């Protein structure tokens, strides 16, 4: 069971996953000898002396990280169910689906707005109090207030995260992305997680940690969508009965996609960007109907936010500053750029790409160290969070003292020094008529810092050195802040860091360029985002929606293309790296070159567990208890058919329900008509996430154990199948595109047992395949040589 | 053969397709009796007395509209080829693919720019000359010049289209969309078509017909991409040898997708909109790597266009006016709207949706009538085009006389009346100091009319009645202009019509709304586009990029959502309607409800043609000559194997190559090693579109006819297959998602012949299925009742 715990404890370091796969998949090279395998099936299934060591052999399926099932299950019962659906039910279904999308958009926008409002007020209050103390020149007291309030907020966030919902830590984007790929990590969409994610994110962001709120918003959106889609939370008694149509993985997946789109839309007020983000980065399956649904959801977000902001613009939101949710408006009709502005922009893109990949690899390394600390226990987790908070407070308060005071400009576009909450010219320790440029960046919320950096007509505001200090501090602070046990996003820190980097480059080349420093900051953000997150269209649209300036489009496209290309030469997308280090079995949409050389038969492992069409109860119980498989082939043999015939595939969940309902007969016989009276299709509907029954909870008498079950009505009679000689690449295409959980492998030559094995998601994982076929490791030297090829070859 | 010609003559009316299917698929209800079918195979294949009537039975495959093959073909030869690819070749492949994308973007932007430049200059010259004559009050002469130049231009466009490339008629978007779905209509991507599309579009648009240039630009982009991707045109001796890697359907599909994205990007200067258009409307398969590639292509377009426009802004482009390629800039920082602005916008959306679906159904009816005329001969086609041109000229010149002259505003934002080429205040017949508001709209290019309608601070410029006249005229003119034999788009006419409709509504409700009339025009365009083309995200982004105003976003989203929802209740997307009326077998990504009740075995029709592993040459020739199938199962029987084994699938194209190479042996025997020496994988590479060899071109001697061929090395040993009991809906999912051309159906019970039949694209067409199963027609009454459900059910 150690394999399981390692595999599923999130986050586990990448090496651990390798180990767990080594443990769970012994290096039995499968020889594709039909007879031998056939022998195995029989002996293993029939013998009652199965030891627990069998469990380890099929270990990869034991992990509580379940995979989702997007296949249309075709058993007799479900077919009846579909036929019995009336027109009115179909209309109800459509209506409910749209209503849910509306509700998702509505709730997500409310949460997004409330989130911003809370952060702006809590952080604003903190800054107003400390600023007032600074004005009274009580510097020490100001520092104590500042750092202790930060510590308290960070402590609160990490406490609730560690004790109530550890799944809420981090950004949540990797988990949601894995879910949309078909990996169901436990408890990521529970009501508990949702609560901690919202409250923890507000508290952590208010504590001036260098973390963002966009990632948590995506997770929040997905959570809201998942909870609404499964009809509320059963655990807390909040359930809606009328959402009975969505008890399947496909509809839930669609809702979660819409929810994550709404999350980005609410975080950045970027509705189109949200849809594109969900499409480009999150979703693994997509169709145009879903595009429209996501668009509808984000439109609701946009309209609700717009109405709520109208309220705030009337000044009824307390300390709601200029940064929160208001666009970083860099509109100016006179932006003009020419051919000679292109080289600096290209340079910005190249360095941005290098910085982005450096950022990813450093973050990955820091996460590994943090994992070692976090594994030691909850106290260590919280101590880590607190120490990061204290360090951050010291840096934010200490570093501005380095900067010399600068005299206010003669015709400032806004009051100098800043009065009240947010502004470009923070006074800090300076004498009247002066401002501290570093404090304007550090001693502010991230949103305000971005606004300052993006602002135009402020080319003289910042000193070279200040900008460099700010950039370096942000770069490292954001890397060290992400891994703590609190909800924390990556978007905003990367935007701040990128903006400071871009503005610094702008200062260096300003004599050779027409572009103002604010535009350089925008392009710098784009380059670092492109280098770290590796999105294209969605980032482009998000930046456009943030800055509200379409004239920048060609330059932003150029920067994104260059920085992504450069960064792809070094390492992968930050979310993929985090996902990999958490051990989530993400199925890529492209196959590795060696998969074309392997056949499906080469990777089918382990003894095959199969059932007869009419099976003894004790056999079923035994197999269910000793293996972790989620699907079993059902085969009819001579008493019931002329030759062995593959009847289909039965799911563990359905078997458990059968056992629970105790629909047994004393002798082995088929009984078609009776079974339907006892079962409704609703019984087989997918339960809420992680709420299915377990075999251990079912107790059966000795007599019952000797009875039989007719599995035929509950068997999916036409599962997708491939011939054993098909290449792995081709089978992966089918598995991935159709969204399967099980793929039956049938023999090339008929006559023997009509099924060779079952492929699951784990069988397609490169680590698993390379373990099975160490001779492919021979080509690892080749792999090392073309270190940069895998990331390139994705583009094929 | 009449079935074929009806089915493939483009455009054929929808009824004809029904007829052709009736002809080609006799109503043999398949009883799934294994033995009977088996008998059939043998007798049919073995008997030499096959009459030509057999051809009709398998007619649906005979049609020159081929389907494309996205399956990974796994025969021994191809596997060897992949293994022999060196690292350097992979790098070459990647490099070439990006280079081609760059070239596609570059050429498409050049064509787009040249297209605009030519239209602006030709149409501009025409308007300047006639305006000058009007100033000299030579009204009759002006009309003659105007209408005769229009007629000459339209005649030229229709002449080259009718005689050189009839495939270039229309917008081309339906054909490209069908191609990306896997339907290869003949000659749509030839060099001839490209030439006619570019020249014809310039000439037709310049002739003041109410047609657009965006559709033809998409076709042009796709054409350029396809021609570059297949290494130039063999027919005209323009070939590049170095593009040998892209001789397959998958790579070509990717290029064509990028090309169509580039087309929209060049037509509207909307690079992000172009990518989204290709994604939402055009592509049937999509992955994130392709998203990036399309983004790169459109970024090239954006940058090249930007550079070229810089040249024009310096005034070096002749009569290049404000409309062409310059954005319809409606930026204003002070756009503010509140809750009470929403009801008029919702009204706009609802009426827009109704108008849009009305537009679609009228256009479809007009196209049917035009088809009847066009089928009579080329002369009729050209006469039709000329009469439409004359009518248009009369309306454009005649209608402004209705409008009364309006005095110039006191503080006009631009000269009044207009001097020179383009402007808001056309003088027409009016006295000095006055302008004719209808002439400002009619007597202008469409681009300039849109610009006038979108412009702000011109609320008093137009009279109610003028706007209504303009709207009605545009609405009908665009419907009657689309079907003529010339390249003609739908985007721009719909934008103009929608803008006038929106502005008219804006005038009616102006007393109750804050929004200015220009904004109403933008929203009106959005609503009509949404009602007719039914896109969401892409239209939204295209409109944003056209108008350069992000603050409008929530309103545009709202209008699009409403108009699409309303219109979907009535009929389908305009491109789908045109595609259907052209008889292109488009495979939807959702299945009809009745497909869940049918099994795959229910739709497998016709006698199955199969080959032995080692087959007699005369048999192959006979089968190839008497059927139109593109793929044949290969079965090994007792002399070569113990029991009948399905060896795989062989393609017609590969068989023809085998026959051409004459790799025969005198006796039936397997010969593995020899075959490879004679063949290179390149021999089997997909030829350029429609350039494959034909069986009729191969002549064989009597002696050769009696020899044998070993098909094993050339057989795809692991084609995708489904069990005959699988539901059609589930099989369709596999067929569609993986992008297949053939799907093997295997029997549930092994023992007999190991294959039941082959499914192709045509077998999934609703018309075909309903023909096979007339008992489903029983539910047609049900279908009629829920007339509006099918379009809704797409959203599930």
3-state helix, strand, coil in chain B (%, to 5): 60, 5, 35
Name the band, by pLDDT with cuts 50, 70 and 90, for residue B642. confident
Percentage of chain B exceeding pLDDT 90: 32
Q: Report phi then psi at A240, rounded to 5.
A: -110, 130
- If one counts every other C-beta atom within 10 angstroms of the C-beta of residue A488, the result is 30
What's residue B682's pLDDT?
59
- Round the average pLDDT of chain B to a whole number and report it: 79
State how far the Cα of B600 lies from the Cα of B249, in Å rounded to an integer: 26
What's residue B654's pLDDT?
84
Does residue A325 carry a pLDDT above 90? no
Does residue A727 carry a pLDDT above 70? yes
Query: Which chain B residues have a beta carbon less than 8 Å from that of A87?
Result: 786, 789
Residues B558, A792: C-beta atoms closer than 8 Å: no
Reduced to 3 states, what is the DSSP secondary structure of residue A745?
strand
Calculate the alpha carbon distances from A19 to A369, A585, A602, A771 in Å. Answer: 18, 14, 21, 10
Residues 47-66 of chain A with CB under 8 A from chain B are none
Query: Which chain B residues have a beta carbon less than 8 Å from that of A596?
Result: 72, 79, 82
What's residue A631's pLDDT?
87
Tokens 């390249």, residue located: B487
The answer to whether the predicted template modeling score (pTM) of the entire model surpasses 0.90 is no
Q: Which residues contact A595 (CB under 8 A, 6 or more apart)?
A: A727, A728, A729, A732, A769
- Residue B9 structure tokens: 């003559």
Q: Is B468 on the interface with A (CB under 8 A)?
A: no
Q: Cα A447 from chain centroid?
A: 24
What's residue A224's pLDDT?
94
What's residue A671's pLDDT?
59
Q: Is B311 on the interface with A (CB under 8 A)?
A: no
Which among A74, A597, A643 has the least Cβ separation from residue B83? A597
**Interval B392-403 mean pLDDT:** 92
Task: Please provide the size of chain A in residues.
Answer: 796
Q: Is B292 on the interface with A (CB under 8 A)?
A: yes
Name the band, by pLDDT with cuts 50, 70 and 90, for residue B3. very low
What's residue B39's pLDDT?
40
Residues B302, A557: C-beta atoms closer than 8 Å: yes
Which among A79, A272, A307 has the least Cβ separation from residue B540? A272
**Interval A731-742 mean pLDDT:** 88
Residue of A685 and B428 predicted with greater confidence:
B428
Query: Which chain A residues have a beta carbon less than 8 Å from that of B306?
Result: 554
Q: Is B246 on the interface with A (CB under 8 A)?
A: no
Does residue B690 carry a pLDDT above 60? no
Query: Which chain A residues have a beta carbon less than 8 Å from that of B748?
Result: 645
Please answer whether residues B198 and B204 qualify as being in contact, where contact means their C-beta atoms are separated by less than 8 angstroms: no
Name the band, by pLDDT with cuts 50, 70 and 90, for residue A112. very high
Q: What is the ipTM of this complex?
A: 0.83
Calculate the alpha carbon distances from B388 to A110, B11, B150, B370, B538 in Å. Answer: 55, 19, 11, 12, 32
| Closest B-chain CA to A546 | B550
Residues B94, A792: C-beta atoms closer than 8 Å: yes
Percentage of chain A exceeding pLDDT 90: 33
What's residue B691's pLDDT?
56
Calculate the alpha carbon distances from B124 to A649, B129, B213, B421 in Å. Answer: 70, 9, 16, 6
Please answer whether residues A601 and A726 qualify as being in contact, where contact means their C-beta atoms are separated by less than 8 angstroms: no
Residues A557, B727: C-beta atoms closer than 8 Å: no
State how far the Cα of A198 lies from the Cα of A157, in Å rounded to an integer: 10
Q: Is A245 on the interface with B (CB under 8 A)?
A: no
Residue A573's nearest CA partner among A220, A282, A272, A211 is A282
**Interval A713-737 mean pLDDT:** 87
**Interval A419-435 mean pLDDT:** 78
| Closest B-chain CA to A740 | B734
Distance between A645 CA and the closest CA of chain B, angstroms: 6
Q: Which of A313, A750, A793 to mutate to test the interface with B (most CBs of B within 10 A)?
A: A750
Percentage of chain B exceeding pLDDT 70: 78
What's residue A549's pLDDT?
73
Residues B748, A94: C-beta atoms closer than 8 Å: no
Which among B295, B729, B738 has the least Cβ separation from residue A733? B738
Q: Are strands A434-435 and A406-407 parallel, antiparallel or unpaired?
A: antiparallel
Which of A50-64, A374-388, A421-435, B360-374 is the least confident region?
A50-64
What's residue A66's pLDDT?
65
Three-state helix/strand/coil letters over A649-693: EEEHHHHHHHHHHCCCECCCCCCHHHHHHHCCHHHHCCCCCCCCC
| CA end-to-end distance (rounded Å), chain B | 40
Q: Which residues contact B33 (CB under 8 A, 6 or more apart)?
A: none
Please answer whether residues B760 and B542 qualify as being in contact, where contact means their C-beta atoms are separated by less than 8 angstroms: no
Which among B72, B271, B795 has the least Cβ separation from residue A292? B795
What's residue A783's pLDDT?
43
Per-residue pLDDT reduced to its tens digit, B140-175: 999 999 999 999 999 999 999 999 999 999 999 999
Does residue A58 carry a pLDDT above 90? no
Residues B272, A796: C-beta atoms closer than 8 Å: no
Residue of A418 and A30 predicted with greater confidence:
A418
Per-residue pLDDT reduced to its tens digit, B324-355: 555 555 555 456 677 778 888 999 999 999 99
- Residue B246 structure tokens: 């892209």
Does residue A36 carry a pLDDT above 60? no
Q: Where are the alpha helices (DSSP H) in B230-320?
A: 249-268, 271-277, 288-313
Could you say which DSSP state residue A608 is in?
Answer: P
| CA end-to-end distance (rounded Å), chain A | 39
Residues 333-392 of chain A with CB under 8 A from chain B are 333, 338-339
Residues A554, B302: C-beta atoms closer than 8 Å: yes
Per-residue pLDDT reduced to its tens digit, B97-112: 899 999 999 999 999 9
Q: Is A39 on the interface with B (CB under 8 A)?
A: no
Q: Which of A273, A280, A284, A288 to mutate to test the interface with B (most CBs of B within 10 A)?
A: A288
Q: Is A193 on the interface with B (CB under 8 A)?
A: no
Helix (H) or strand (E) holding A631: strand A631-636
**Interval B763-773 mean pLDDT:** 85
Q: Report phi then psi at A516, rounded to 5.
A: -85, 165
Query: Which chain A residues have a beta carbon less than 8 Å from that of B292?
Result: 536, 564, 795
Does residue B549 carry a pLDDT above 90? no
- Residue B603 structure tokens: 């739709």
Residues B643, A596: C-beta atoms closer than 8 Å: no
Q: Which of B85, B262, B272 to mutate to test the interface with A (most CBs of A within 10 A)?
A: B272
Residue B559's nearest CA partner among B289, B349, B784 is B349
**Interval A635-662 mean pLDDT:** 82
Per-residue pLDDT reduced to its tens digit, B81-138: 555 566 777 777 888 889 999 999 999 999 999 998 899 889 989 988 998 888 888 8
Query: Which chain B residues have a beta carbon less than 8 Å from that of A796?
Result: 93-94, 97, 289
Does residue A736 carry a pLDDT above 80? yes
Please answer whether residues A170 and A488 qualify as being in contact, where contact means their C-beta atoms are separated by less than 8 angstroms: yes
State how far the Cα of A179 lies from the Cα of B478, in Å rounded to an integer: 47
Please answer whether residues B487 and B509 qualify as being in contact, where contact means their C-beta atoms are separated by less than 8 angstroms: no
Name the band, by pLDDT with cuts 50, 70 and 90, for residue B777. low
What's residue B787's pLDDT?
39
- Residue A255 structure tokens: 């809702």
Q: Which of A401-410, A638-647, B138-147, B742-751 has the highest mean pLDDT?
A: B138-147
Query: Which chain A residues have a beta carbon less than 8 Å from that of B592?
Result: none
What's residue B550's pLDDT?
73
Residues B548, A545: C-beta atoms closer than 8 Å: no
Residue of B324 and A200 predicted with greater confidence:
A200
Query: Which chain A residues have a beta carbon less than 8 Å from that of B288?
Result: 280, 589
């Amino acid at each position: 069971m150690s394999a399981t715990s390692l595999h599923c404890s999130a986050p586990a370091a990448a090496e651990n996953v390798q180990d767990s796969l080594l443990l769970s998949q012994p290096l039995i090279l499968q020889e594709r000898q039909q007879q031998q395998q056939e022998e195995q099936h029989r002996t293993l299934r029939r013998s009652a002396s199965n030891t627990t060591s069998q469990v380890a052999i099929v270990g990869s399926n034991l992990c509580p990280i379940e995979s989702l099932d997007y296949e249309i299950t075709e058993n007799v019962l479900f077919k009846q169910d579909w036929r019995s659906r009336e027109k009115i039910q179909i209309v109800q279904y459509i209506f409910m689906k749209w209503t849910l999308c509306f509700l998702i958009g509505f709730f997500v926008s409310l949460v997004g707005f409330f989130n911003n409002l809370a952060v702006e007020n809590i952080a604003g209050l903190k800054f107003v109090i400390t600023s007032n103390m600074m004005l009274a020149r009580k510097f020490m007291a100001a520092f104590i207030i500042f750092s202790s309030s930060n510590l308290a907020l960070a402590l609160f966030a990490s406490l609730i995260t560690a004790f109530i919902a550890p799944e809420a830590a981090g950004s949540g984007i990797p988990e949601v992305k894995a879910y949309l790929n078909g990996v169901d990590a436990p408890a990521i969409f529970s009501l508990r997680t949702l609560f901690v994610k919202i409250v923890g994110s507000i508290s952590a962001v208010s504590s001036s940690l260098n973390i963002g709120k966009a990632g948590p918003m995506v997770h929040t959106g997905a959570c809201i969508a998942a909870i609404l889609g499964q009809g509320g939370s059963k655990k807390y008694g909040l359930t809606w009965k009328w959402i009975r149509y969505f008890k399947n993985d496909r509809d839930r997946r669609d809702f979660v996609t819409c929810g994550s789109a709404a999350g980005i839309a609410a975080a950045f007020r970027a509705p189109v960007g949200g849809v594109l983000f969900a499409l480009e980065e999150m979703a693994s399956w997509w169709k145009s109907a879903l595009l429209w649904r996501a668009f509808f959801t984000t439109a609701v977000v946009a309209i609700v936010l717009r109405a709520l902001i109208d309220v705030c613009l009337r000044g009824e939101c307390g300390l709601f500053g200029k940064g929160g949710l208001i666009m970083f408006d860099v509109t100016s009709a006179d932006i003009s750029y020419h051919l000679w502005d292109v080289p600096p922009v290209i340079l910005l893109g190249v360095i941005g790409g290098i910085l982005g990949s450096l950022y990813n690899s450093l973050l990955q390394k820091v996460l590994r160290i943090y994992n070692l600390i976090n594994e030691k226990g909850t106290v260590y987790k919280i101590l880590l969070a607190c120490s990061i908070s204290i360090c951050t407070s010291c840096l934010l308060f200490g570093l501005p003292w380095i900067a010399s005071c600068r005299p206010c400009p003669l015709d400032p576009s806004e009051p100098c020094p800043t009065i009240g909450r947010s502004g470009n010219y923070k006074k800090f320790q300076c004498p009247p008529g002066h401002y501290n440029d570093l404090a304007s960046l550090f001693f502010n919320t991230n949103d305000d810092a971005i606004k300052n950096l993006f602002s135009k007509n402020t080319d003289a505001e910042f000193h070279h050195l200040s900008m460099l200090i700010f950039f370096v501090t942000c770069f490292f602070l954001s890397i060290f802040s992400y891994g703590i046990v609190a909800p924390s996003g990556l978007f905003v820190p990367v935007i701040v860091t990128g903006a400071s980097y871009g503005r610094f480059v702008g200062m260096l080349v300003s004599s050779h360029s027409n572009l103002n420093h604010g535009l350089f900051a925008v392009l710098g953000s784009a380059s670092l985002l492109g280098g770290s997150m590796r999105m294209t269209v969605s980032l482009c649209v998000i930046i456009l929606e943030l800055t509200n300036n379409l004239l920048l489009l060609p330059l932003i496209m150029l920067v994104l293309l260059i920085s992504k290309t450069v960064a792809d030469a070094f390492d992968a997308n930050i979310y993929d790296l985090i996902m990999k280090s958490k051990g989530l079995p993400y199925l890529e949409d492209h196959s590795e070159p060696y998969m074309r050389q392997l056949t499906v038969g080469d990777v089918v492992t382990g003894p095959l567990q199969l059932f007869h069409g009419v099976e003894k109860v004790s056999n079923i119980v035994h197999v269910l208890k000793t293996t972790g498989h989620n699907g079993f082939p059902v085969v009819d043999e001579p008493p019931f058919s002329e030759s062995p015939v593959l009847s289909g595939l039965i799911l563990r969940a359905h078997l458990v329900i059968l056992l629970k309902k105790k629909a047994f007969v004393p002798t082995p016989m088929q009984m078609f008509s009776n079974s339907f009276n006892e079962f409704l299709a609703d019984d087989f509907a997918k339960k809420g996430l992680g709420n299915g029954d377990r075999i251990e909870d079912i107790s059966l008498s000795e007599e019952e154990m000797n009875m039989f079950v007719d599995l035929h009505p509950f068997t999916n009679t036409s599962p997708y199948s491939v011939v054993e000689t098909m290449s792995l690449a081709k089978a992966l295409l089918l598995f991935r595109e159709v969204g399967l959980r099980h793929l039956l492998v049938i023999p090339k030559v008929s006559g023997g047992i009509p099924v060779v094995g079952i492929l699951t998601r784990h069988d397609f994982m490169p680590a698993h395949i390379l373990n099975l076929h160490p001779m492919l490791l021979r080509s690892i030297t080749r792999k090392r040589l073309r270190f940069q090829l895998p990331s390139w070859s994705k583009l094929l």
